[in-house]
Amino acid sequence: MFRLLKNLLLAMVMTMAASAPAFAAPPQTPTPNAYVLRVDGLACPFCAFGIEKEFAKQPGVEDTNVNLEHGVLVVTVKPGATFTKAQLAQLVKEAGFRLKAVVSRPTESTAATKP
């Protein structure tokens, strides 16, 4: 009886799990002149364009690229431009999202001074 119930419950859980989206790991490789940020809630081009719009206004930002599938934002900066984690978190917040982690930062040679 217990085995039957266990199998029933397992089947229900697996049915629900089958409907869940697959979560692939975001890219972890550091990019020489870019911040790689993991952002919560990135889902659609509206999110991508909104967050790109916010970063594009910042001096020192050369390009932004959102990977929706991995929830990752790559901010390419000009040589010498740097952002603190707090600054990055604030910009992400102003775009309506939450910074989960700074996955990687630009290497020392390109990030010498603040904008």
Partner 1 sequence: MKRASYWLLGVVVVLLLIVGIGWGLWVPSPREPPYQLVSSWGGAGSAPGQFHDPIGIAVAGGKVFVADSRNHRVQVFDRNGRFLYAIGHPGSGLGKLGRPMNLAVAHGKLYVADYWNDDIQVFSTGGTPLAVIGHRGSGPGEFKAPSGVAVLPNGNLVVSDFYNQRVQELRPDGAFVRQWGVTGKKGYVSHGMFNYPTDVATDHQGRIYVTDGYNDRIQVFDPDGHFLRMWGGPMGLHLPASVNVLGGLNGWFRTPTAIAIGPQGDVFVADEENDRIQKFTADGRFLTAFGTPPTGPGFTETGVAVANDGTVYSTNLMGNRVEVWKPGASR
- Which residues are near partner 1 by CB under 8 A? 1-2, 5, 8-9, 12, 16-17, 19-21, 24, 41, 43-46, 49-50, 53, 67-70, 96
Q: Which of 82, 45, 46 is nearest to 61 (CA)?
A: 82
Is residue 73 within 8 A of residue 42, CB to CB? The reply is: yes
The smaller minimum CB distance to partner 1, of residues 53 and 85, is found at: 53
CB of 23 to partner 1, least distance (A): 11
Handedness of CA 13, 14, 19, 23 (dihedral sign): positive
The smaller minimum CB distance to partner 1, of residues 16 and 86, is found at: 16
CB of 12 to partner 1, least distance (A): 7
Burial of 61 (0-12, 13-18, 19+ CB in 10 A): buried
The smaller minimum CB distance to partner 1, of residues 62 and 82, is found at: 62
**61 DSSP β-pair partners:** 77
The smaller minimum CB distance to partner 1, of residues 61 and 111, is found at: 61
